[in-house]
């Protein structure tokens, strides 16, 4: 079975007929650890210490060891566990999901009874204000007709959905109560791979289950989400954990558990959380205005791989490569050009291109945003004023382009200049048409019919200009090409 991304709310469908009981094997296994025979813990709860005399070799290893002992999460769970809730959902209309067709007609009454049962689902959430505002995942409460919140002391509340934002998979719900326990929000930008984190939620309906692990990576792109760079962990997260909090060791919520990577629908060692700063920004907007406003600057960007980094004179692959800038857009007004590499936005370093949409979208429309770029082999500072994104307008298009590392000594391109009539008929700005391609350029992905707009950050208006710029590149040429309505860079190795 092919592995796939899975959102992790657990769904249960009731039928109006008896069903054979099914049991889930929950047998626990106990495994002795090597440390158990040679270490002990102090009565005060201190770090593990050796109970036997170490050899000189062991002493050397201990001095070099950077981590000792294991964390105890019990105090954290005691303090903040009561703020984690179970979220049960009944869909408002499940009749559209009916089975039917000619084959089902003899059993129409049975299927009618099946359809009449509302679809149910379960997830998790956590209280962020004493008066009952709760954060959870958008997919947990999607199409909800009835939402019930159950706290750790088994009280139940009817909740209303304040709003949800599918692009970030964040939703806000509200219960009518006072003096509720709340969580403390942290700063996910300070997370580091290897740091301990824990999840609290309701996997498979088991309320307030605690699982622990480490941060595997930060700023992960999940493809389907443009506006959130996810926190990857190895914390055991399963259906029903959706919407639950991810805590650091300071007891701060740093993320909302949202997705897993799985081939069987359950945990396989890869779980992903929405950073809490993004989620809280969504919460504040939904509570304040009932809608989420995002900003855009009107550029297309792509990933910077090793070959592109070399061709642009960067020390290593990093940042986001601008391949196109919309006319009269905030990016154009701010001075951004194709061939620029965005290195920082509002002081935040950009390592991967997927960070740009998230960083730009959370800036206030009309605000002044400092952008550091790499142009002509040196960093430069620009200022842009993002505008509000309208429905149907994408802030940025992410496109990753790679290339074969093999070299042929030539680009392998046959090009000619377009006539004025051809340019007008094709609606292109460039003048250099690729007629034939082979060797390095073919392997890199250049195709006949592509129009070469530039080399690196330099625009070309003739075959001569193209050839002169290409000759100056020693190892790789970054070609800005137009293919139909799209523009992007292709790095082509040269000899």
Residue 106: CB atoms within 10 A of its CB come to: 9
Give the C-alpha separation, 325 to 332, whole Å: 6
Please give the CATH architecture assigned to the domain spanning 413-493: Roll (2.30)
**Model-level pTM?**
0.64
Instruction: Identify the pLDDT of residue 4.
Output: 59
The residue behind tokens 């997927």 is 354
Instruction: Identify the pLDDT of residue 477.
Output: 86
Extract the tokens encoding 291: 């809608």
Instruction: Identify the pLDDT of residue 64.
Output: 57
Instruction: Identify the pLDDT of residue 222.
Output: 67
Q: What is the CATH number of domain 184-289?
A: 2.40.10.10
Q: Which residues are tagged catalytic?
A: 139, 169, 242
Q: Which of the listed CATH numbers 1.10.1530.10, 2.30.42.10, 3.90.950.20, 2.40.360.20 matches domain 296-399?
A: 2.30.42.10
- Delimit the domains of the chain by residue range: 79-174, 184-289, 296-399, 413-493
- Is there a common fold for 79-174 and 184-289? yes
Instruction: Identify the pLDDT of residue 492.
Output: 87
Instruction: Identify the pLDDT of residue 99.
Output: 42
Look up residue 33 and give its DSSP letter. -
Instruction: Identify the pLDDT of residue 385.
Output: 96
Residue 491: CB atoms within 10 A of its CB come to: 28
- Of 241, 234, 235, the residue nearest 256 (C-alpha): 241
pLDDT tens for the 495 residues of the chain, in order: 455 556 666 554 443 433 333 333 333 333 333 343 344 444 334 444 444 445 555 555 545 556 667 899 999 999 999 999 999 998 875 444 444 444 444 444 444 444 455 577 899 999 999 999 999 999 999 988 899 999 999 999 999 999 999 989 999 999 999 999 999 999 998 999 999 999 999 999 898 999 999 999 988 876 555 677 899 999 999 999 999 999 999 999 999 999 888 777 777 889 999 999 999 999 999 999 888 888 999 999 999 999 999 999 999 999 999 999 999 999 999 999 999 999 999 999 999 888 898 889 888 899 999 999 999 999 999 999 999 887 543 333 333 333 332 222 367 788 888 877 777 777 787 888 888 787 788 888 888 888 999 888 888 888 888 888 887 776 788 899 988 888 899 988 875
Instruction: Identify the pLDDT of residue 281.
Output: 92
Give the C-alpha separation, 480 to 492, whole Å: 11
Instruction: Identify the pLDDT of residue 306.
Output: 92
- Of 282, 317, 315, the residue nearest 303 (C-alpha): 317
Instruction: Identify the pLDDT of residue 394.
Output: 38
Instruction: Identify the pLDDT of residue 131.
Output: 96
Residues 6+ apart with CB under 8 A from 289: none
79-174: CATH class: mainly beta
């Amino acid at each position: 079975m092919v592995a796939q991304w899975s959102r992790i709310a657990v769904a249960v469908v009731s039928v109006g007929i008896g069903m054979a009981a099914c049991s889930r094997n929950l047998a626990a296994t106990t495994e002795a650890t090597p440390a158990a025979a040679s270490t002990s813990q102090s009565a005060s709860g201190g770090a593990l210490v050796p109970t036997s005399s170490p050899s000189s070799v062991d002493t050397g290893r201990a001095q070099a060891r950077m981590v000792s002992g294991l964390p105890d999460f019990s105090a954290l769970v005691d303090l903040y566990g009561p703020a984690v809730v179970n979220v049960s959902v009944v869909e408002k209309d499940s009749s559209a999901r009916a089975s039917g067709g000619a084959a089902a007609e003899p059993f129409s009454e049975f299927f009618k009874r099946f359809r009449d049962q509302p679809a149910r689902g379960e997830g998790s959430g956590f209280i962020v204000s004493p008066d009952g505002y709760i954060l959870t995942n958008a997919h947990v409460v999607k199409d909800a007709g009835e939402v019930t919140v159950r706290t750790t002391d088994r009280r139940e509340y009817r909740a209303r959905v304040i709003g949800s934002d599918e692009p970030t998979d964040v939703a806000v719900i509200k219960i009518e109560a006072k003096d509720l326990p709340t969580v403390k929000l942290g700063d996910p930008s300070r997370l580091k791979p290897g740091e301990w984190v824990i999840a609290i939620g309701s996997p498979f309906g088991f309320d307030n289950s605690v699982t622990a692990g480490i941060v595997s990576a930060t700023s992960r792109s999940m493809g389907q989400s443009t506006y959130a760079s996810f926190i990857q962990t190895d914390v055991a997260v399963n259906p029903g954990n959706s919407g639950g909090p991810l805590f650091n060791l300071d007891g701060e919520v740093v993320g909302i558990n949202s997705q897993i990577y799985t081939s069987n629908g359950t945990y396989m060692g890869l779980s992903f959380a929405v950073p809490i700063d993004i989620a809280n920004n969504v919460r504040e907007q939904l509570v304040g205005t009932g809608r989420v406003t995002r900003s855009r600057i009107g550029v297309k960007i792509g990933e910077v791989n090793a070959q592109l980094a070399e061709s642009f004179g960067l020390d290593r692959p990093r940042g986001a490569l601008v391949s196109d800038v919309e006319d009269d857009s905030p990016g154009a007004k701010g001075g951004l050009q194709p061939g620029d590499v965005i290195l920082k936005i509002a002081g935040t370093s950009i390592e991967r291109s997927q960070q740009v949409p998230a960083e730009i979208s959370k800036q206030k429309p009309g605000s002044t945003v400092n952008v550091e770029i790499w142009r002509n082999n040196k960093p430069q500072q620009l200022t842009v004023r993002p505008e509000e994104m309208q429905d149907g307008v994408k802030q940025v298009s992410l496109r990753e382009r790679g290339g074969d590392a093999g070299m042929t000594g030539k680009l392998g391109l046959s090009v000619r200049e377009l006539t004025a009539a051809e340019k007008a008929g094709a609606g292109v700005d460039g003048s250099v048409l690729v007629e034939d391609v082979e060797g390095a350029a073919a392997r890199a992905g250049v195709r006949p019919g592509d129009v070469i707009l530039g080399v690196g950050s330099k625009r070309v208006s003739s075959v001569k200009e193209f050839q002169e710029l290409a000759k100056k590149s020693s190892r790789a040429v970054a070609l800005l090409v137009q293919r139909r309505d799209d523009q992007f860079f292709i790095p082509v190795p040269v000899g």
